[in-house]
Amino acid sequence: MTEPVAHRTQVVVVGAGPVGATVANYLGLYGVRTLLIDRSEEIVDYPRAVGMDDECLRSFQGIGLADEMLADMIQNVPLKMFAANGRCLADIRPDTREFGWPRRNIFMQQLAERTLRAGLRRHPHVRPLLGHELVRVEQDGTEARLHVKGPGGERVLVHTEYVVAADGGRSTVREQLGIPLSGDTHPRKWVVIECDNDPLDAPYTGLHGDRKRPYVCLDLPYNYRRWEFMLFPGEDAEVMLRPEKVRELLTGHVPDPAALNIIRARVYTHHSRVADRFVDGRVCLAGDAAHLMPPWVGQGLNTGVRDATNVAWKLAAIVTGRAHPRILASYDTERREHAQAMVDLSDTFGRFLSPTSPAVARVRDVLLRGLTVAPSVRDWVVQMRFKPVPRYAEGVMLHRRGPVRKDSPVGRMFIQPRVETADGRVLPLDETLGEWFALIGYGTDPLVHLDPGTRAFWDRIGTRYLTVVESRSGRSRTERRTSTTDSVTVEDIDGTLRDWFAQHEGTVAVIRPDRYVAALTDPRDLASVSDAFERLVAPSWSAEFKDAWHSLPVTEGEAS
């Protein structure tokens, strides 16, 4: 029998959808040798996921693709919730940009996937293996091995240190590892209909609690529109996809259903499920392989991209010797609870949308109308403060001694205002932070508080040092403050960073590569916090050892 073609690499990503391609782009950014495997060579050419939030856009900013994504998006799209009688109960249009981007944006997944795949061309050490199907995955204490079938049936064997399974809701990897996907499958199915000649002037996403047949109507980019209609018990899914039934569903919602160019009609079953673990040895689950949720708040893809951003820097830190392999367990600790929270939020919106009983629908409408009367509650709804923002109580972070305070910024995403650099450029904060860790001092230079040994640790894990100074309003624009150390100096243009640090205890923040706050301290305690953080990440494998692993022989064939 012919020997399989063999590859040796640092990380394999299974699944080249938006989550897998995001992981691969981050690994490419971090200089990690990566194989991206997908059974399909083509991108599915119709919209699927359509909602993108500010956290997700910030992740794409991190790999230099946010502007390309925005070019194919509609920004700041309202979300409206309608009562059974058609009255608008809530008009959700958040104006906050605490993370640097609008909170509600509408896109089309196939365009985003093209942007992500094109982004991979920047990284020669990331190699796509498209048209290759995973057959079997196995692992031991030293490596993982993937048995893969190529487009012509040829056998491929991949040796790798770690695997990210982003291979969808029917994940082959998850099934082979025997990881349960716990939760529920909803009994009601939904018909999704899309056209490319939008007949409506309705520039928003509408959740319609119509008791005759609940439905969702979405305005999409490039003159596309989507409807999602709930099916009732006894309605045959295949029958409901017939052209005459599709036109019947759209009757009353568009002027002339027969005039629409329907590009697809499909039936979907909704799931609310989360994997029992996101990490199994050298394998991590991400995206739909790790969690499934109904689409009502558009958080399926966003939650998957949060997974990608979290797991990518940790794997890169491990394989490049910046951190001990044990930090990988924090991916499960940090991401699984939040994924469950997003599933629960999606279920809550589904319960709002789906009642068909007149009495239940009436109670729902009265309750929501009453809640939004109070200004504070209305603001909570309009600004989307009901959406659970990740807050990690455990993981790669250092909390102050004692119980974790609810208002602690540690374990939360850091804000991203615009700042002015020493040469006069105005940039989003992240553009000044670098790709890895950052030490940010407000009104103080973090480097002056580090002894040589402590600084050596931060340098070793690729840290950028930032000194934030107050706005120089009223002074000459030529008076640029520069640091006498290696710190980058930026100006807090509108006082956003001043206000953030004033609300919390400490003026030096440790920011992780995924822009989460890992620690917050006073300058006098920075040395002890640095020592504790070094023990937490515990880098132990030298670069020479890592390079030696990749010099090991593989079976005959082509080495990556």
How many helices (H) does the chain have, and how many strands (E)? 15, 26
| E strands in 395-524 | 418-421, 426-428, 438-442, 464-470, 488-492, 508-511, 517-521
pTM above 0.85, yes or no: yes
Q: Exposed e or buried b for every residue in 94-116, given b needs 16+ CB within 10 A?
A: beebbbbbbbbbbbbbbbbbbbb
Please report the pLDDT score of residue 222 as a whole number: 94
Please report the pLDDT score of residue 504 as a whole number: 92
| Residues 184, 292: Cα–Cα separation, whole Å | 10
Pairing mode of beta strands 34-38, 126-130: parallel
| Residues 357, 421: Cα–Cα separation, whole Å | 59
Please report the pLDDT score of residue 374 as a whole number: 63
Nearest to 48 by CA among 132, 168, 157, 140: 168
Domains by residue range for the chain, with CATH:
5-74+101-180+274-351 (3.50.50.60), 183-271 (3.30.9.10), 418-538 (3.40.30.10)
Pairing mode of beta strands 133-139, 205-208: unpaired
| Residues 417, 100: Cα–Cα separation, whole Å | 6
Please report the pLDDT score of residue 539 as a whole number: 67
Chain position carrying tokens 């249009």: 93
Burial group, residue 558, by CB count within 10 angstroms (0-12, 13-18, 19+): exposed
| Residues 138, 497: Cα–Cα separation, whole Å | 48
pLDDT per residue, tens digit, the chain (560 aa), is 567 788 899 999 999 999 999 999 999 999 999 999 999 999 987 768 999 999 999 999 999 999 999 999 999 999 898 988 888 888 888 888 899 999 899 999 999 999 999 999 999 999 999 999 999 999 998 999 999 999 989 999 999 999 999 999 999 999 999 999 999 999 889 999 999 999 999 999 999 988 889 999 999 999 999 999 999 989 999 999 999 999 999 999 999 999 999 999 999 999 999 999 999 999 999 999 999 999 887 888 999 999 999 999 999 999 999 999 999 999 999 999 999 999 998 888 888 778 778 887 777 777 777 666 666 656 656 556 667 778 898 899 998 766 667 789 999 999 999 999 988 999 999 999 999 999 999 999 999 999 999 999 999 999 999 999 988 654 445 455 666 788 999 999 999 999 999 999 899 999 999 999 999 999 999 999 999 999 999 865 444 434 443 444 443 333 34
| Residues 289, 30: Cα–Cα separation, whole Å | 24
What's phi and psi for 471, nearest 5 deg? -60, 140
Structure tokens at 102: 């609008």
Say if CB 358 and CB 352 are below 8 A apart.
Answer: no
C-alpha R_g of the chain: 25
